[in-house]
Amino acid sequence: MPYRSLQPLVATAALAVVLATAPAAPARSAEYVVDPDHSFIQFRTQHLGFSWLAGRFNRFDGSMTYDPAAGPDAQGIRVTIDAASLDTNHAERDKHLRGEDFFDVEQFPTVTFVSTGFAGDAGGGTLSGDLTLLGVTKSISFDVRLIGEGDDPWGGYRAGFEGTYVLKRRDFGMAYNLGPAAEDVEIHLMIEAIRR
């Protein structure tokens, strides 16, 4: 059935969430909170090798420490994704993805990413951290880059990052057979955060 092929979804954000928020950028040391209204965790995987199936997670939150002047060790991010909020614009497919064949959201309601290190400069680099999906925690790394930062029109200060990660479903025990073209799930993270 067509909806089954989208399952690989990402997770991940995590999935990582993943969140693509790495250090980097002009200076201003502080704690930031992820703005979910201007951030996106999207994913796509191949459908039978013929096309792409895409989706997103609609609910997630997170925080980050961002102080480029203090060096890579001062940077960090933590993101939590509501796994049941996955959305592929197809109700039956989403129901299957939330079930035991894929995200098993009853038993594992969240996907989390906690950074453990960053290597790069003010423009971007490689973010490393622990991604937990389906009760399995793996150390992952992915590229991130600074989109921009500065004052917003409402008197706040914001910073935005993006990153990409390719998640292998079987690494986390998501082994439902969708064919070889759907083993990898591409995750695209676009994170905007507001300084506290």
So where are the chain's domains? Answer: 2-195
> Is it the case that residue 172 has pLDDT exceeding 60?
yes
pLDDT at site 9? 38
Burial zone of 158 (CB within 10 Å; 0-12 exposed, 13-18 middle, 19+ buried): middle
> Is it the case that residue 138 has pLDDT exceeding 90?
yes
Q: Report residue 29's pLDDT band, with 50, 70 and 90 as the boundaries.
A: low
> Is it the case that residue 13 has pLDDT exceeding 90?
no
**Of the ranges 5-9, 93-97, 172-176, which one carries the lowest mean pLDDT score?**
5-9
Contact yes or no for 5/176 (Cβ under 8 A): no
pLDDT at site 11? 35
> Is it the case that residue 169 has pLDDT exceeding 90?
yes
User: How would you label 59-92 residue by residue, b for 16+ Cβ within 10 Å and e otherwise?
Assistant: ebebbbbbbbeeebeebbbbbbbebbebebeeee
pTM: 0.82
Looking at domain 2-195, which of 3.40.50.300, 3.40.50.1220, 2.40.50.100, 2.40.128.110 is its CATH number?
2.40.128.110
Contact yes or no for 165/190 (Cβ under 8 A): no
Q: Residue range 9-38: average pLDDT?
A: 56
Contact yes or no for 80/59 (Cβ under 8 A): no
- Which one is predicted more confidently, 130 or 181? 130
Phi and psi at 20, nearest 5°, equal -40, 15
> Is it the case that residue 3 has pLDDT exceeding 50?
no
Q: For residue 181, give Cα distances in angstroms to 46, 49, 105, 127, 193.
A: 6, 5, 24, 26, 34
Q: Residue range 131-145: average pLDDT?
A: 97
> Is it the case that residue 56 has pLDDT exceeding 90?
yes
Handedness of CA 142, 157, 114, 83 (dihedral sign): negative
**pLDDT of 79-99, one tens digit each?**
999 999 999 999 999 999 999
Cα separation, 55 vs 91, whole angstroms: 12
Cα separation, 143 vs 133, whole angstroms: 20
**What pairing do the DSSP bridges indicate for beta strands 86-87 and 110-121?**
unpaired
Q: Residue range 118-143: average pLDDT?
A: 94
Using only C-alpha atoms, the chain has a radius of gyration, in whole angstroms, of 16
